Structure 1
Amino acid sequence: MIKLAAFDVDGTLRDRDYLPESTRTALLKLKEQGIALALCTGRSEYEMESLWKELAIDWAVTCNGSHIGHQGKTVSGNAFPKETIIEWLQEANRLNHSILLYGSELMFTNKEDSEYFRQAQQEIGFMEPVLLGENDEVPDIYQCIIFCGEQEEASYLQDSGDSYYIHRWRPWAVDINPNGMNKALGLQKLLDHLNIMPNEVAAFGDGLNDLELIESVGTGIAMGNACDELKEKAKFVTKSLHDDGIAYAVEKWILRA
């Protein structure tokens, strides 16, 4: 019996500002059956506020698993050491890279304007970050996006790359999370908090950063628009986001199970 359904956001629940009405209806049906809902995304808690309020989703596993929130309030988090963030900011300024830092309540950047950030903002959407000056206090940071090429990321990781979860989502942009965190580990922390077993969970995703998530639960569902690697790992493959894939999967593999 499914007790919780977890959803990636971009490419799964929504495509930029488009969220199918059938998805809203499907989520409501899940809640009516007493099934808890959770967002499970690489985005920040800050960016997800309007979405969890709109869809009445109480739980959010954000920053690729590094932060867990309940109605916008931090339940648990795995932040970088502050000295690491300070070093990365110094390195980004030295190399003229832009860097995006995810806190629990705000996003921060080292550059007021960045060509790559604006490109990412145009392609997938980002809220405006707050400029973090060299003398400003560094807040708790749960995820870092560095706008640089694959060869350049070594300047930040050096010999400690195995200590991080690394997800390159563009040739010029890479997610870095602390201590090997990923969506599966973050979701497991939430399940422990709620006393729910992994086999009682359905999870939906479409991207490479959903691989661990999909494999970690009893009912892993890849969207029809998902990458091939995820489809191979999923228990089920539903229709695409634009073809009412969430609603189709909810009816076929959750409500009728």
Structure 2
Amino acid sequence: MIKLAAFDVDGTLRDRDYLPESTRTALLKLKEQGIALALCTGRSEYEMQSLWKELAIDWAVTCNGSHIGHQGKTVYGNAFPNETIIGWLQEAKRLNHTLILYGSELMFTNKKDSEYFRQAQQEIGFMEPVLLQDNDEVPDIYQCIIFCEEQDEASYLQEYKNSYYIHRWRPWAVDINPNGMNKAVGLQKLLDHLDLDPSEVAAFGDGLNDLELIESVGTGIAMGNACEELKEKARFVTKPLHEDGIAYAVEKWIL
């Protein structure tokens, strides 16, 4: 029996500002059946606040699993060492790269009006980050986005590459999370907190950073618009987001 349903956001629950009405109805039906809901996203808690409020979703596993919030309050967080972020900021200044840093309450950047950031903002949407000045104190950071080509990653990762979870989502943009965190690890932290077994969980996703998530639960569901690698790992493949894929899966395989 499913007791919790976890949803990736971009490409799964919504496409930019478009969220199907059928998805809202399906989430309401799940709640009426006593099934808990959680967002499970590479986005930050800060960016997800309006969405979990709009959909009345209490739990949010954000930053690719590095942060877990309950109604916006931190329940668990695995932050980078502060000296790591300071070093990356110095390296980005040297190489003229843009960083986006996800804290628990805000997102920060070292550089405004970056060409790559604006392109990403246009393609998938980003809220405006807060500019960090050279002498500003750096808060706890749970995920870093570096706008750089793949060959430039080594300047930041050095010999510690295997210690990070790395998800390149554009040729010029990469997510980095600490200590091998990913959505499956973050979700398991939430399941431990709620005393749930992975077999009691359904998870929905569409991207490469959902691979571990889909494999880690009893009912892993790939969207019809998902990448082929994810479809191969999923237990079920539903219809695309724009064809009421969430509602179809909820009725067919959960309710």
Is the TM value for this pair above 0.5? Answer: yes
TM-score of the pair, normalised by structure 1: 0.99
* Equivalent in the alignment of 1:153: 153
SS of aligned partner of 2:68: strand
Q: CA RMSD in A?
A: 0.3
Unaligned runs of 5+ in 1: none
* Residue 63 (1) aligns with residue 69 (2): no
* Equivalent in the alignment of 1:178: 178
CA shift, 1:134, in A, is 1.0
* Residue 246 (1) aligns with residue 246 (2): yes
Q: Provide the C-alpha distance between the structure 1 equivalents of 2:112 and 2:154, rounded to a whole number of angstroms.
A: 24
Q: Provide the C-alpha distance between the structure 2 equivalents of 1:55 and 1:111, rounded to a whole number of angstroms.
A: 33
* Equivalent in the alignment of 1:24: 24
After superposition, the C-alpha distances for 1:203-231 in whole angstroms (9 at most, x for unaligned) are 00000000000000000000000000000
* Equivalent in the alignment of 2:230: 230
Residue identity (%):
90
SS of aligned partner of 1:99: strand
CA shift, 1:109, in A, is 0.2
Q: Provide the C-alpha distance between the structure 2 equivalents of 1:218 and 1:193, rounded to a whole number of angstroms.
A: 18
After superposition, the C-alpha distances for 1:114-159 in whole angstroms (9 at most, x for unaligned) are 0000000000000000001111000000000000000001100001
Correspondences of 1:1-257 after superposition (within 5 Å): 1-255=1-255
Q: Provide the C-alpha distance between the structure 2 equivalents of 1:134 and 1:80, rounded to a whole number of angstroms.
A: 19
CA shift, 1:58, in A, is 0.1
TM-score of the pair, normalised by structure 2: 1.00
Q: Provide the C-alpha distance between the structure 1 equivalents of 2:189 and 2:119, rounded to a whole number of angstroms.
A: 34
CA shift, 1:244, in A, is 0.1
* Counterpart residue identity of residue 221, structure 2: I
Q: Provide the C-alpha distance between the structure 2 equivalents of 1:71 and 1:191, rounded to a whole number of angstroms.
A: 16
Q: Provide the C-alpha distance between the structure 1 equivalents of 2:17 and 2:72, rounded to a whole number of angstroms.
A: 21
Q: Provide the C-alpha distance between the structure 2 equivalents of 1:144 and 1:112, rounded to a whole number of angstroms.
A: 16
Q: Provide the C-alpha distance between the structure 1 equivalents of 2:92 and 2:236, rounded to a whole number of angstroms.
A: 41
SS of aligned partner of 1:60: strand
Runs of 4+ in 1 over 4 A off after TM superposition: none
Unaligned runs of 5+ in 2: none
Q: Provide the C-alpha distance between the structure 1 equivalents of 2:134 and 2:187, rounded to a whole number of angstroms.
A: 34
Q: Provide the C-alpha distance between the structure 1 equivalents of 2:132 and 2:63, rounded to a whole number of angstroms.
A: 19
